[in-house]
Every structure is written in structure tokens, then in C-alpha cells.
Amino acid sequence: MKNILASLFAAVLCLSLLAGCSSKKPIVGKWKSDKGQLEFQDDGKLVASMGSMTINGTYTLPDDTHFKMSLDLGGKKEEKTFGYTVSGDTLTTDEDGKKDTMTRVK
């Protein structure tokens, strides 16, 4: 009986660990391109940098293939939704057919 309970406990623990791993957002991290850098933080905050200019904002993931970002541009809120895919260390964004590729900063 103890072996059965131990096996069930181990199986539940493994499943919960796998579920925890799958909830990690693949978009989280710093990404750069020749245009600038985006940092998607795990808490939903977003930092966009272009040269010496830094803009703070937030993002949400309405589904597995889109992110919606909201940036504060001098008191004016700007919101946009982008399609995205992550493949290894490459983030490809798609805004109405215009694609941009970024590389993960390690």
C-alpha cells in the first residue's frame, strides 16, 4: 500500500512540475534587433529601448500567437497587437503582414 501511495504521489508531483514548466511564457526575456530592444518581464511589464530612449509599458498574451502591448508615450497611451512566434532564440513579430525578427539576449 505504501508503494502504491508513493508511486501516485511521485506521478502527481511530476505532472504538476510539467504543468508548471509549460506555463512559462516563451516570449519572456530580452530581445534585440537593429531597431532596438524589447524586454518582456514575467509580471507583464514591458521595456522598449531604441538608442538612448526607453519606454515603459505592459503586455498581455490574449492567446499563444499574439501579444498586446500598451506603451506610455508622453502621457498618451498607445496600444498595438502583434502576432508572434518563438523558435529557439528567435522572436518573429508580425504586425499586419510586416514581419520583424529579433534575437534573444543572453
Distance CA 4, CA 70 (A): 51
- What the block records as the C-alpha cell of 11 is 506521478
Q: Can you give the pLDDT at residue 10? A: 35
User: What does pTM read for this prediction?
Assistant: 0.74
Q: Where are the alpha helices (DSSP H) in the chain?
A: 2-22
Task: Please name the CATH architecture into which domain 26-104 falls.
Answer: Beta Barrel (2.40)
Gap between the Cα atoms of 99 and 92, Å rounded: 7
Cell numbers standing for residue 38 = 524589447
The lowest-confidence range among 7-11, 44-48, 57-61, 99-103 is 7-11
Alpha-carbon gap, residue 54 to 79, rounded angstroms: 16
pLDDT tens across 49-104, in order?
999 999 999 999 999 999 999 998 888 999 999 999 999 999 999 999 999 999 99
